[in-house]
Structure 1
Amino acid sequence: MAPLHLSLACWDYDRVKALEDGRVRPEGIELNFLNLRNGLNSVEETFFRQLRYQEFDVSELSLSSYVLTLNNEDPPFLALPVFPSRFFRHQSIYVNNKAGITHPSQLAGRRVGTPEFQMTAPVWERGILEEEFGLKYDAPHYFTGNVEPSDVERKEKVPLNLAETVRIQAIPKGKCLAQMLADGEIDALESATAPSTFGKHPDVGRLFPNAMEVEQEYFKRTGIFPIMHVIVVKRTVLKEHPWVARSLTKAFAASLEYAYSAIHERGALRYILPFLQYHVEETQAVMCGGGEDKWWQDGLTPQNRRTLDKFLEYSFNQGLAKKKWQVEELFAPGTLEGFVV
């Protein structure tokens, strides 16, 4: 039988590289791997095209945006338990150093920039600041728009229906959040990417100067390694070919194993990090108790279930998701019945 031809839009992360170069081939599927990385925010192009036009059979997608598609009467996608992007987000909250903000609670009533209110990174950031530091998610005054200069206005990719207590204002055309932070026009920035003014302008710093220590302590205490993106498949594809979900899930698992093999290579440096070995050892010590367990896993492991459940709680509490979804409701049938390469 001829293989099923499917398009996959995804960044060329190390954990999917074997799918891109053909070392891993999903059973019964011929993938057309589309790497749209052509700029700092090219992942946003994938999200926009998939959410607006459902252009790809399979794609990487913002976890938050995916959850919001479930609000639709006829949701267009189902996710696989594959998480190509994860990121601790304490490090991604920036402040104007002259604003006198020394504790997250001081952001109440302040001007806080965020590219989009529904973005996954700010959902995590708002949730953590509320749960861990007492800053109510609707306490700041939010300003949305491009982090960096752009001729294209940035708008929410998914329609929102927020509480009246949430104050959101689009920044004027021609402005960008990175420069507004440096100029003191906003007091803080909750983002995914670092603003270009960070490290270059003396008035731009991190809310948590010791972010790495804070993030490591957060993980040790909560066991949460925040998930940013999922892999989604169009429901129209799965309706006709339900076996695709299982085949793709297994293929992503096999590709992840290649990434682990590469990062543990010691005969020569495979990556341009001279102290990579020590970074790997430190990561294992923090996230695996020094054992051989893998710190980045797909599937519904206990850690992933805890992480997803926390995000779904934040999404609902912040008025984004229409209900508190159960973790299992996110994923395609047949992808949670064991996760074996």
Structure 2
Amino acid sequence: MIPITLASTLTDRTRPVLDGRFPIPGVALTHLPGEPEDIFHRALRDQAFHVTELSMGSHIVTTARGDSPYVGVPVFLSRAFRHNAVWIRTDRGIAGPADLAGKTIALLAYEQTAALWVRGMLRDQHGVDTRSIRWRIAGARIALSPPPGVDLAPLGESVDVALTAGRIDAYIGPRPPKGALEAGAPVARLWADPRAAEAAYHAATHFFPIMHCLAVRKDVAAAHPWLPMELFRAFTAAKNASVHEMLMTNVLRVSLPFAAYDAAVQTQAMGGDPWPYGLARNRVEVEAMIRYAVEDGLIAESIPPDALFHPSVLDAPDPGP
């Protein structure tokens, strides 16, 4: 049994591995729970974990540059539609996505996966020239030089302060800005009905945007080349069990009153497996993410999706729940 530290958020997709229901053969696992921002920072700065949940945006950038300390496993622990992540000042004449052209928009990090997806959607679905936007950054996980032709600079204050004071026109981020929660604040979501926008986006693209993957530190993968496949098998089995349990509606397995309804809607829209793992079932989506990274100036040229993942798991199948 080899001792392995694994850093991840706690979700219905990870708990069945972490509580021992789906053990990883040959591994004595120590789980280090946390929130994504802290996990990514420690993983990318200090290589602090043997196995980690990792931002796909950062993973694409560091892999393309050749300085990634981790190699991926196509276990996509986090996915999220991001139309709900775009917040605007309501006093700037922004009536729709096209009106973001030429505006000043804050991000937590330029390479953040949520921002990568939103910029890609703005270009592909709405024809927005994202290089006309002034991007202001509140932080960064990795060293990044401003891409040529991109107006990228530090924000110099918190997003909440800048948005409330009107020094930026919009914000893209996974958590609502505090100003949006204050009564009467001139801040609102760009899409008034983000769920409808996200459903339409999925129907048009069949993408359920990938946010995070599982990754193994390269020295650990080199010493134990069987580990990536065992991780894939355990986490895939855990996810499939979780999805199956969610669809069991005789007794609600999650504390959401309308879970049965939502599960039926989800099944109709996405089929019975909304959370596919494995590169084969996600190749087109990963290719889109790489293209977005090139268009954003995050990477100089495209890389094949295979470059992001350990060779042993490139053809690993996900049979679904």
TM-score, normalised relative to structure 1: 0.89
1:200-228 CA distance string (max 9 Å, x none): 34311111112111111111111111100
User: Partner of 1:150 in structure 2?
Assistant: none
Deviations, residues 18-64 of structure 1 (Å, cap 9, x unaligned): 1111111111112111112xxxxx31110000000101000001001
Say whether the 8 Å CA contact 1:250–1:339 is kept in structure 2. no
Aligned to 1:88: 81
Distance in 1 between residues matched to 2:93 and 2:315, nearest whole Å: 51
Q: What's the secondary structure of 1:233's corresponding residue?
A: strand
Residue 49 (structure 2) aligns with: 56
Farther off after superposition, 121-130 or 260-269: 260-269
Which residue of structure 2 lines up, in the alignment, with residue 206 of structure 1? 189
Deviation at 1:91, TM superposition (A): 1.3
What residue is the counterpart of 1:67 in the other structure?
60
Matched to 1:5, the amino acid is: P
1:282 is matched with which residue? 265
* One of 4, 7, 13 as aligned partner of 1:6: 4
Partner SS, residue 197 of structure 1: helix
Q: CA deviation at 1:238?
A: 1.1
The residue correspondences of 1:123-162 to structure 2 (distance < 5 A) are: 123-145=116-138, 155-162=139-146
1:298 to 252, 272, 277: 277
3-state DSSP of counterpart to 1:26:
coil
Residue 162 (structure 2) aligns with = 180
Aligned equivalents of 1:333, 1:160: Cα separation in 2: 28
**Contact in 2 for aligned 1:313/1:324 (Cα 8 Å):** yes
5 Å-filtered alignment, 1:109-258, equals 109-145=102-138, 155-172=139-156, 175-202=157-184, 203-258=186-241
> Which digits, 9 at most, give the CA deviation of each residue in 1:164-204, with x for residues without a partner?
321122223xx321232233221111112221222434311
1-structure distance, mates of 2:54, 2:13: 16
Identity %: 29
State the SS of the aligned residue for 2:212.
Answer: strand
Report the TM-score when normalising by structure 2: 0.94
1:29-40 maps to which residues of 2 (within 5 A)?
29-36=27-34
Aligned to 1:339: 317
- 2:77 match: secondary structure: strand
Which residue type is aligned with residue 167 of structure 1?
D
| SS, match of residue 116 in structure 2 | helix
Give the residue type in structure 2 aligned to 1:106.
D
Kindly tell me the number of residue pairs found equivalent between the two proteins.
318
Per the TM alignment, residue 270 of structure 1 is displaced from its structure 2 partner at its CA by: 2.6
The 2-side partners of 1:199 and 1:285 are apart by 33
CA–CA distance in structure 1, aligned partners of residues 124 and 305 of structure 2: 20
Structure 2 gaps, min length 5: none
C-alpha RMSD of matched pairs (Å): 1.6
| Distance 1:224-1:194 versus aligned 2 partners, 3 A rule | same
Residue deviations 1:277-324 (CA, integer Å, cap 9, x gap): 001111111222xxxx3111111244x111111001000111112321
Letter in 2 for 1:254: A
2:300 is matched with: 322
Q: 1-side partners of 2:244 and 2:39: how far apart? A: 28
**Residues 53-80 of structure 1: per-residue CA shift (max 9 Å, x gap):** 1010000010011111114445311100
User: Residue type of the partner of 2:316?
Assistant: G
Tell me if 1:272 matches 2:251: no
Q: Give 3-state SS (helix, strand or coil) of 2:179's partner.
A: coil
